[in-house]
A and B are shown apart, each in its own frame.
Chain A
Amino acid sequence: AQSVTQLGSHVSVSEGALVLLRCNYSSSVPPYLFWYVQYPNQGLQLLLKYTSAATLVKGINGFEAEFKKSETSFHLTKPSAHMSDAAEYFCAVSESGSSNTGKLIFGQGTTLQVKP
Chain B
Amino acid sequence: EPEVTQTPSHQVTQMGQEVILRCVPISNHLYFYWYRQILGQKVEFLVSFYNNEISEKSEIFDDQFSVERPDGSNFTLKIRSTKLEDSAMYFCASSDKRGVRPQHFGDGTRLSIL
Chain A residues close to B by CB (< 8 Å): 32, 34, 36, 41-46, 49, 51, 90, 92, 94-97, 100-109
Residues in A whose Cβ lies below 8 Å from that of B105 = 36, 43-45
Are B42 and A100 closer than 8 Å at their CB atoms? no
Chain B residues close to A by CB (< 8 Å): 4, 6, 31, 33, 35, 41-45, 48, 50, 55-56, 58, 91, 93, 95, 98-100, 102-108
Are A103 and B104 closer than 8 Å at their CB atoms? no
The verdict on A43 contacting B107 (CB below 8 Å), with A101-B55, A102-B99 known, is yes
Can you sample 27 A-B contacts with CB below 8 Å? A34-B102, A41-B107, A42-B107, A43-B4, A43-B6, A43-B108, A44-B91, A44-B93, A46-B102, A49-B102, A51-B100, A94-B99, A95-B99, A101-B48, A101-B50, A101-B56, A102-B31, A102-B99, A103-B33, A103-B48, A103-B56, A103-B58, A104-B33, A104-B43, A106-B45, A108-B41, A109-B43
Distance A27 CA – B104 CA, assembled complex (angstroms): 24
Are B103 and A101 closer than 8 Å at their CB atoms? no
Residues in B whose Cβ lies below 8 Å from that of A96 = 99-100
Distance A44 CA – B42 CA, assembled complex (angstroms): 12
